[in-house]
């Protein structure tokens, strides 16, 4: 794994690349006008690239470029502005001032929507490439898209396994604990989601996840899933209500307080 700059290197991009190299002990390699394809084939099969279009991109040999963008968050936020219901917000019962543990950060779409309604979020990302892309992408959007800056201010991004984090959290320290395991959500047709799968971790919910999440949650634990996991989630003790069931996916819930 190495880091370099965009083809048209600038002093700022060079400084950013070298700072990241020092911070994370990643080897910096000068671009020297080479293509990423050539560098993937002759230098290293995994490359971070600082650039002025996205902040930071990640390339792996034989796979597509991975980078941060708000994905479906903007569209969902616009729907909320137009007084339409967001299915994740509805399933979680999120309101202003609540705390939201997003155990599967992905492209931060759910965290951004939760931030829009006024929740305070801790988002976990286990994959190092995806975490670093998110971290640098957030900085890029805060600097270049000021209209979104306040949304990011309510999100704390951490690079850890969600189960390790949950085990260390106090009882009932978050109103809602939420999971949307990327490799389970095969119904997602977003190009962005399909692309970041190459950098994501292939995890799924375990009984230990459920135990710790239920301990940490004050109000409920919510899991987004596709229907091939339905019986498994029911066996784990989740409920699946009609109002939280969509055409191609559903939100399974464990509620700790009466609604």
pLDDT tens sequence across 154-183: 999 999 999 999 999 999 999 999 999 864
For residues 55 and 131, state if they share a domain: no
pLDDT of residue 108: 93
Domain span holding position 92: 73-255
For residues 197 and 95, state if they share a domain: yes
pLDDT of residue 204: 73
For residues 204 and 142, state if they share a domain: yes
Q: Picking from 17-31, 98-112, 185-199, which range would have the lowest pLDDT averaged per residue?
A: 185-199
> What does the alpha-carbon distance between residue 180 and residue 162 come to, in Å, rounded to a whole number?
12
Q: Which residues contact 154 (CB under 8 A, 6 or more apart)?
A: 115, 118, 119, 120, 121
Give the mean pLDDT of 21-35: 96
For residues 95 and 56, state if they share a domain: no
Q: How far is CA 96 from CA 86, 117, 146, in A?
A: 15, 6, 21
- In-domain check, residue 225: yes
For residues 106 and 194, state if they share a domain: yes
- In-domain check, residue 68: no
For residues 116 and 239, state if they share a domain: yes
pLDDT tens sequence across 17-27: 999 999 999 99
Name the 3-class secondary structure at 201.
coil
Instruction: Identify the helix (H) or strand (E) that includes residue 236.
Output: none
Phi/psi of residue 52, each to 5°? -95, 0
186 burial class (0-12, 13-18, 19+ CB within 10 angstroms)? Answer: middle
12 pLDDT exceeds 50? yes
Give the mean pLDDT of 83-90: 95
For residues 142 and 216, state if they share a domain: yes
Q: Picking from 10-14, 41-45, 223-227, which range would have the lowest pLDDT averaged per residue?
A: 223-227
> What does the alpha-carbon distance between residue 98 and residue 119 come to, in Å, rounded to a whole number?
5
For residues 58 and 182, state if they share a domain: no
Question: What CATH number is given to the structural domain containing 85?
Answer: 3.40.50.150
* Residue environment code for 94-114, b if the CB has 16+ CB neighbours within 10 A, otherwise e: beeebbbbbbbbbbbbbbbbb
- In-domain check, residue 137: yes
> What does the alpha-carbon distance between residue 180 and residue 185 come to, in Å, rounded to a whole number?
7
pLDDT of residue 203: 66
pLDDT of residue 103: 96
pLDDT tens sequence across 190-227: 444 444 444 445 567 889 999 999 999 999 999 999 88
- In-domain check, residue 201: yes
pTM over 0.85: yes
Q: How many domains does the chain have?
A: 2
118 pLDDT exceeds 50? yes
Q: What are the structure tokens assigned to 36, written together?
A: 């990423």
Q: Which of 42, 63, 84 is the last residue of a domain?
A: 63
138 pLDDT exceeds 70? yes
> What does the alpha-carbon distance between residue 188 and residue 185 come to, in Å, rounded to a whole number?
6
232 pLDDT exceeds 70? yes
Output 34-40 pairs: Cβ under 8 A, ≥24 positions apart. 35/7, 39/2, 39/4
Confidence of residue 89 (pLDDT cuts 50, 70, 90): very high
- In-domain check, residue 125: yes
Q: Are strands 155-158 and 174-179 parallel, antiparallel or unpaired?
A: unpaired
Q: Which of 63, 84, 110 is the last residue of a domain?
A: 63
For residues 141 and 194, state if they share a domain: yes
Give the mean pLDDT of 230-256: 91
> What does the alpha-carbon distance between residue 154 and residue 99 come to, in Å, rounded to a whole number?
10
- In-domain check, residue 198: yes
pLDDT of residue 198: 47
- State whether the Cα torsion 57-112-105-243 is positive or negative: negative
For residues 136 and 243, state if they share a domain: yes
For residues 109 and 10, state if they share a domain: no
Question: Residues 94, 139, 202, 3: what is their CA dihedral angle, to the nearest 10 degrees?
Answer: 180
- Alpha helical stretches, state H, 31-176: 36-42, 73-81, 87-92, 109-116, 128-144, 149-153, 162-168
- In-domain check, residue 160: yes
For residues 103 and 183, state if they share a domain: yes
- In-domain check, residue 99: yes
Q: Mean pLDDT for the chain?
A: 90
Q: Which of 39, 63, 87 is the last residue of a domain?
A: 63
Q: Picking from 121-130, 143-152, 183-192, 245-254, which range would have the lowest pLDDT averaged per residue?
A: 183-192
């Amino acid at each position: 794994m190495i880091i370099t700059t965009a083809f048209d290197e600038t002093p700022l991009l060079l400084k950013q690349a070298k700072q990241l190299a020092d911070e994370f002990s990643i080897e910096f390699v000068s671009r020297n006008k080479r293509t990423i394809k050539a560098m993937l084939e002759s230098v290293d099969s995994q490359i971070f690239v600082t650039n002025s279009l996205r902040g930071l991109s990640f390339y792996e040999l034989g796979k597509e470029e991975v980078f941060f963008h708000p994905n479906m968050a903007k569209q969902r936020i616009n729907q909320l502005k137009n007084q339409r219901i967001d299915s994740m917000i509805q399933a979680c019962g999120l309101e202003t001032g609540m705390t939201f543990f997003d155990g599967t950060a992905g492209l931060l779409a759910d965290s951004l929507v939760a931030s829009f309604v006024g929740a305070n979020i801790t988002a976990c990302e286990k994959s190092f490439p995806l975490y670093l892309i998110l971290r640098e992408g957030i900085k890029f959007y805060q600097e270049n898209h000021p209209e979104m800056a306040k949304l990011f201010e309510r999100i704390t991004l951490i690079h850890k396994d969600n189960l390790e984090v949950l085990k260390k959290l106090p009882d009932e320290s978050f109103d809602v604990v939420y999971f949307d395991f990327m490799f389970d959500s095969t119904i997602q047709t977003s190009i962005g989601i399909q692309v970041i799968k190459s950098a994501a971790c292939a995890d799924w919910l375990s009984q230990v996840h459920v135990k710790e999440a239920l301990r940490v949650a004050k109000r409920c634990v919510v899991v987004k899933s596709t229907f091939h996991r339905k019986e498994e989630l029911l066996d784990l003790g989740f409920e699946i209500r009609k109002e939280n069931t969509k055409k191609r996916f559903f939100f399974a819930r464990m509620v700790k307080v009466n609604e």
